[in-house]
Structure 1
């Protein structure tokens, strides 16, 4: 077994991996960006190293910096968690080539075969796994998309090779949308996954999203651990996941599970992975009838990593998937066969996102966890990295925690979840807990009749607003601390990138924010800890002299991905002015009215703050 593992991730998944390591007697190394210097995964690790500024491309996605830390800290393995570098075959190959460092995941070759969507479709088709009609080769031109749509009909989906969770996927419903959607999918693929390659497939309007958890060792043993139903989504991103699915017959469940095993075996795959399927569902299906072997299911993709919702499977199988990731990477054989896998009871996971569901899931733009008191009791699990008093980091994903509830059956699980969500006390930031509480009283969800479009297209928005008003809490305003004659201050020193925490007592001084001293080669600079973007808080935008006219400002902190207009351009109401990336989502900033662009105050790749002027319209 390994002695020291570097976890190349952040937040709750980093802590989840570190906890598994601790139980196996393995020391852990955290890496963190400037935005995450005070985050929970940094506190939890045995060692922590700064890997760069807030922008993920310059820190968590920096191959060379991550590997340098691993070497300098004497790590003998790297676990990528999910997101960031978890499905990056190029990085995996670099780790495999590094002397004395093991990649905790499938081989780079297997990631290439199954992680790339077009390659995975070829593998699955050869293994007799049904696939959605689509291209087996990447597309580059709008004419290729149009040709596919002419053959199979609209809508079609343009999807990034490295995409997931709806990121890098654009839906085309008519010919005149093709060019814009193609460029958007390419741009998101490049921005989030460092790969602008895209492909096209037929888009199913009302499917159920069923995924199968896989574990495979390096000796050819492959097991599936049952399925999860991830049909409750908003904008193609999962919100609630559960297992097993309440809507599949045992025959269809077994058929899908064996298809997943068959496809993974054909790819010479080892470690953990998830095979995702779409199951066609008739919206007029009688609730008493379950989906059976006569209903179509199609391979969607393989996630060559641990999934956010792996917790559901752990609760109903009793198998610690992260520990088995580490054991398989250390050349251990699976201690169980397919016949040993038993599904016991039911589990539901609720993603606790810092978003306001009543305002189209707008992400929180900051805040302090003035109260953070998660629920407990039998059958309740919380995966998080938060503590009361923490500042919300808004540079990355909006998910701040996961609540997993398990029970003997689905009905008991729903009742227990109602109790747990009512106990979950968070003050200082807005979350989607009110939405979760609403869903547990919603006839469609409780009846298991929801599909992937239910949240976006069918759930009454007024009910969501009412739930937010009843159970939600508003983000609190920042408070100031009073002066004190004697103050203990915490300082964080970074010496050659390594974190050292010290506490000093000062007398006769006013209380000031914590500071971080960054020391590199003897040079030192002071940075206030509330500078969330490494000292760059949209300075260029804020410092620009603003022309007269109507100002279009940023509603959240983020990065400008694209500027669609030039000064002097005439625009109509609703025209896209620029594209703002925030919380890993692209947001089109549109013209509020017709007019002429008097000034463009931002540029591509610029970090901006909420309230910064983007464009001036006259």
Structure 2
């Protein structure tokens, strides 16, 4: 088994991997950006290294910086988590060629199955049903029009390296082709460093079913049952559950067998997920995620198998210690992504000070997180701050337990999607298990979401920092030496409390083991134009500027596109006028309240 593992990720997944390592007696190494120097995963790790500025492309996606951190730490393995470089075959190859072991599939298998067109060819050859689409990347918008003429609208344009709805655009009509083509390429480049795209016929009302698999170096392939990820908003999973309430026993068996069959013979090892769309009693291969999934705890709860530990054991050359017959499904589980978003404002990302953080607990309740009360939540990365996982004897009990747990989960300081989740666990369509992937976008009344947020949303001021006259104050001093971070904590009695820092990541609270030594979708948002100035309503990065000085704009016109927490947000003018000044440029980072455009 490994001696020391570097986790090339951040947030809750980094802490999740580190906990598994700790239980196996493995020391852990974190990497962090300037925005994350106080983050929970940094506090938890045995040691941590700075890999660059806040922008992910210059830190978490900087292969050289991550590999140099592994060298400095003398790590013998790297776990990528999910997102960032988890499905980057080139990075996996570089790790494999270094002194470190890659905790994931072989680069060749990632190349074959991680890129969507190649995976489609593999599955088609294995006899697995595949959604009609292109088997090679497309190079020109005219190919979208030709595909639509053959298969009809709508058409999905998808990034080769995409996943979770990132880099996927839906074309409903011919006049949308050029815009959506460019947007898919832009997202593919921004999120996955790969602007290659392909086409698929877009199924209107499918269920989204995925099968968890684990494969070792000894020819063993196991599947751990399926998860139903059909409750989605703009192709982003919101609530995941297992087993699926929509599958018959026969269909469940056929999908599980297809997943194993598709993976067998590809030289695939480690954990992965084979995703399918189910419609009209038939299923179609969608893609393979060559990594751990956000929703893997659902499977862990219903099977009792620690998937991250299995990843570590397989990467260390061990054989899977259970047969397919040993895998039994116990009860029902659901995962609720706790995102910092305002569901009543088109799920716009939210940032702020975590003045209250009191997660749910009790029997059958698990919380995966990397934040603590007092932390600051910025807008540099994904909006998910925690995951609530609920397990019970059956789906009915699971829903009741989830309703109780969501009611207990107390977060103050900014909006989260907890009110939305509380609505869904009592929603007639969801509780009946008859929803499809388009339910939230096309059928659920938005006013119901507004009422839920009004009823259960944040009531206390985000500026309420609590008592500042503690008798005992803790001062944290941070020192960086050669890019490695060290913390020294001192207690002072009788001194005034130290205000919480604002260092972008998570500046308050603690997530630290006693023995740890830490070293250093797009959405729409209306900006406050009022005919004079348009300001940023959130922290983020300018993806594109759509106007220039002298242009005439009308109310509702898009003036620029702002990326915040991995989502594209159209910034629009509330009133018309002439653009007198453009104060930002593509690639520039902005804070909430920064002026963007001046109108006259």
Length-normalised TM-score, structure 2: 0.93
- Matched residue SS, 1:340: coil
Superposition map of 1:166-565 within 5 A? 166-281=165-280, 295-364=281-350, 366-474=351-459, 476-478=461-463, 488-504=474-490, 513=499, 529-532=501-504, 550-565=532-547
Displacement, 1:561?
A: 0.8
1:288-328 Cα deviation digits (max 9, x unpaired): xxxxxxx2211111100000000000111111000000000
Unaligned runs of 5+ in 1: 282-294, 515-528, 535-546
Matched, 1:85 2:61: no
Partner of 2:31 in structure 1? 31
Output the aligned Cα RMSD: 2.1
- Matched residue SS, 2:377: coil
- Residues in 2 aligned to 1:389 and 1:346: alpha-carbon distance in whole angstroms: 34
1:464-495 Cα deviation digits (max 9, x unpaired): 12211222214733357869999642111111
Displacement, 1:218?
A: 1.1
Displacement, 1:572?
A: 3.8
Matched residues, number: 577
Displacement, 1:513?
A: 4.9
Displacement, 1:590?
A: 2.4
Residues 475-484 or 202-211, more deviating: 475-484
Displacement, 1:566?
A: 1.6
Provide closer, same or farther for how the CA distance between residues 250 and 484 of structure 1 changes in structure 2, counting only shifts above 3 A.
Answer: closer
- Residues in 1 aligned to 2:86 and 2:493: alpha-carbon distance in whole angstroms: 47
1:514-549 Cα deviation digits (max 9, x unpaired): 6xxxxxxxxxxxxxx424399xxxxxxxxxxxx996
1:23-49 Cα deviation digits (max 9, x unpaired): 110000011111111111111111111
Partner of 1:590 in structure 2? 572
Partner of 2:581 in structure 1? 599
Contact 1:352 1:399 in 2 (8 A): yes
Contact 2:531 2:574 in 1 (8 A): no
Displacement, 1:510?
A: 7.2
Displacement, 1:593?
A: 3.9
Displacement, 1:393?
A: 3.0
Displacement, 1:505?
A: 6.5
Matched, 1:568 2:568: no
Q: Which runs of 4+ in 1 moved over 4 A?
A: 479-488, 504-514
- Residues in 2 aligned to 1:317 and 1:269: alpha-carbon distance in whole angstroms: 22
Contact 1:155 1:172 in 2 (8 A): yes
- Matched residue SS, 2:264: helix
1:377-399 Cα deviation digits (max 9, x unpaired): 21111111121211113211111
Matched, 1:577 2:577: no
1:42-75 Cα deviation digits (max 9, x unpaired): 1111111111111111111010000000011010
Partner of 2:131 in structure 1? 132
Superposition map of 1:15-26 within 5 A? 15-26=15-26
Contact 2:378 2:539 in 1 (8 A): no
- Residues in 1 aligned to 2:588 and 2:184: alpha-carbon distance in whole angstroms: 20
Residues 68-77 or 421-430, more deviating: 421-430
Partner of 1:76 in structure 2? 76
Higher relative contact order by CA 8 Å / sep ≥ 6: 1 or 2? 2
Provide closer, same or farther for how the CA distance between residues 596 and 245 of structure 1 changes in structure 2, counting only shifts above 3 A.
Answer: same
Residues 46-55 or 73-82, more deviating: 46-55
Contact 1:49 1:497 in 2 (8 A): yes
Contact 2:235 2:437 in 1 (8 A): yes
- Residues in 1 aligned to 2:264 and 2:256: alpha-carbon distance in whole angstroms: 12
Provide closer, same or farther for how the CA distance between residues 485 and 227 of structure 1 changes in structure 2, counting only shifts above 3 A.
Answer: closer
Provide closer, same or farther for how the CA distance between residues 571 and 266 of structure 1 changes in structure 2, counting only shifts above 3 A.
Answer: farther
- Residues in 2 aligned to 1:21 and 1:548: alpha-carbon distance in whole angstroms: 54
- Residues in 2 aligned to 1:557 and 1:455: alpha-carbon distance in whole angstroms: 26
